[in-house]
Amino acid sequence: MRAALVVAALMLLAVTGTAQASARDDARVKRGLASLVKARGGPPGAIATLYRDGRTTVLRAGYADRATRRRPRSTDHMRIASVAKAFSGAVALRLVRDGRLGLDDTVARHRPDLPAAWGAVTVRQLLNHTSGVPDYTKSNGFVKQFQTAPKAYVSPAKIISWVARDKLVFRPGARYEYSNTDNIVIGLIAERITSRSYGALLGDFVFGPLGLGETTFPRSTPLPRPFIHGYVVEPGKKPDDVSTLLSPSGAWASGAIVSTPRNLSTFMRGYVSGRLFGTTARREQRRFVRGGRSSPPGPGANSAGLALFRYRTRCGTVYGHTGNFPGYVQWAAASSDGQRVVTTSLNIPAPEGALLRRLRAVQENAVCALLRD
């Protein structure tokens, strides 16, 4: 009996110690969010979610809306930016699972109407950004659209037209270079194969199966309420609300999706686990290109897979994606089995320099909090 009591006491101490360590980790992340909000050029607000053992912990600082001083919530809508590329990856890998698309299929096979120079590029190269296809966000056409008609609808065909006459940046497969055009092409290939709109495919392959009731694929600028307002912050000036400045149609399959921190966590759990497309496609997804950094870079050492990045940190490895859109910088990642998930959302565009380093440090601390046993 005495031995049993000793064992029980030791187990209680271990559980208590783990709980206390977890609380300290969470407090460190929360302090980090607060330091970002207080930093020069920092966001008006920041929120992180940690999904562990079936429970979600929400950590936050600052405001989702400066006008009302409302704090960010895990159920607030927001633009998820390039984390939407993981959704297009889910669509593509579902088609691979179903035998309707091959990772080594070429652009010319499925979309011969696209520029001939892109013809030999493979689906795999589009998904891991080794295609050499020029990035339309660096084009004069994109800049002109933003300057003259930022709220106007932009079709995928128009996006392609901005770079259709440009040469490949490098020979396909020769190296890694992040290109937003890659996922536009993935969306167009998926539409051609299925004879369905990309939005409908998202609904059938991703939103529906995962129960993402607060996630949408909009064509116009309004956001569902309540939402986290996005800002541009310049030191010495009042933050400028850019939540509805730019039509998401100009990002399409590359970054148009609107979601919530809670829905985004649910998506990443299903995506990283392979639930949406099975173990065979998941193995292919995790053939990583070293040095392939997401945009903006996530914590630790980054490597690029198929619409997925690996983040190796001092506390362990997680898999996910970052994103950047006017007024929003996002990150969502999960443990290898998808059972633990972290998200971070700031309501400014991706920071640079010291502020980016501080953000990545906060994200690494969040990984430590996420993976602690």
Interatomic CA distance for residues 230 and 236, integer angstroms: 18
pLDDT in tens, 5-57: 544 444 444 444 556 778 999 999 999 999 999 999 999 999 999 999 999 99
Q: What is the mean pLDDT of the chain?
A: 95
Any domain includes 60: yes
Interatomic CA distance for residues 140 and 163, integer angstroms: 9
Any domain includes 2: no
pLDDT in tens, 68-101: 999 999 999 999 999 999 999 999 999 999 999 9
Show the domain range for 265: 20-371
Amino acid found at 239: P
pLDDT at 9: 43
Any domain includes 14: no
Task: Assess contact for 340 and 317: CB atoms under 8 A.
Answer: no
Q: How confident is residue 103, by pLDDT bands cut at 50, 70 and 90?
A: very high
pLDDT at 7: 45
| CATH code, domain carrying 203 | 3.40.710.10
Interatomic CA distance for residues 334 and 328, integer angstroms: 20
What is the average per-residue pLDDT within 104-128?
98
Phi, psi of 332 (to 5 degrees): -145, 135
Any domain includes 179: yes
Any domain includes 3: no
Say which DSSP state 249 is in: G
pLDDT at 322 over 60: yes
pLDDT in tens, 234-275: 988 899 999 999 999 999 999 999 999 999 999 999 999 999
Q: Work out how many domains the chain is built from and give that number.
A: 1
Task: Assess contact for 314 and 296: CB atoms under 8 A.
Answer: no
Any domain includes 176: yes
Any domain includes 68: yes
pTM, to two decimals: 0.94
Q: Is 342 left (phi over 0), alpha (psi -120 to 50) or beta?
A: beta
Any domain includes 13: no
